[in-house]
Amino acid sequence: MPIEDRNLSVGTRLVASYKKQTYVCTVEQEDEGVVFVLEDGRRFKSPSAAGSAVMGGKAVNGWRCWSLAAEVPEQEAAATEVDAQPRPKANGRSRGRGLIYKLPHQRGVAEGLTRWFCNGCMKSFITEGGEAPAACPEGHGAADPEAAPATTREPEA
């Protein structure tokens, strides 16, 4: 919901959602006037500059980008907090596979070793034997309660 009253008092919290992540900005007073401070400490002279920073440098109307934190419904805020948790990106080739899967091409891998790929860290790794590993070297897999269980499904031909 766009900000209608542009006379924001010091301490006002603003929220914005971009790419399923919620950002918070606080209005603070400085010698030069009001500044907009992001959670990471970056300070901006306008809500547009703060909005542009969270959107990776894109031009943005800050008064439309930000909403007053008090105006965001509790259900929406709870949903955006869940969405704000980073998820590993998956390219089109890994859809439908488990978190850890055996790569179809084992070229260049010595006999007795198997190359696997982890969608959690987006890296391949090699193990001895052909048994499915419980986790990748970075810890993603069945032992990670927030990650999908490791599987060894072969890709469809």
**pLDDT tens track for 38-94:** 988 899 999 999 999 998 888 999 888 888 877 655 544 444 444 444 444 544 444
Structure tokens that stand for 99 in this block: 């978190």
Is the pLDDT at 141 greater than 80, yes or no? no
Long-range CB pairs of 138-143 (<8 Å, 24+ gap) are 140/99, 140/100, 141/99, 141/100
Long-range CB pairs of 42-49 (<8 Å, 24+ gap) are 47/3, 47/14
Question: Could you tell me if 72 and 22 are in contact, meaning their C-beta atoms sit under 8 angstroms apart?
Answer: no
Other C-beta atoms lying within 10 Å of the C-beta of residue 130: 11
Does this model's pTM top 0.75? My answer is no
What per-residue confidence (pLDDT) applies to 83? 44
Average pLDDT over residues 10-18: 89
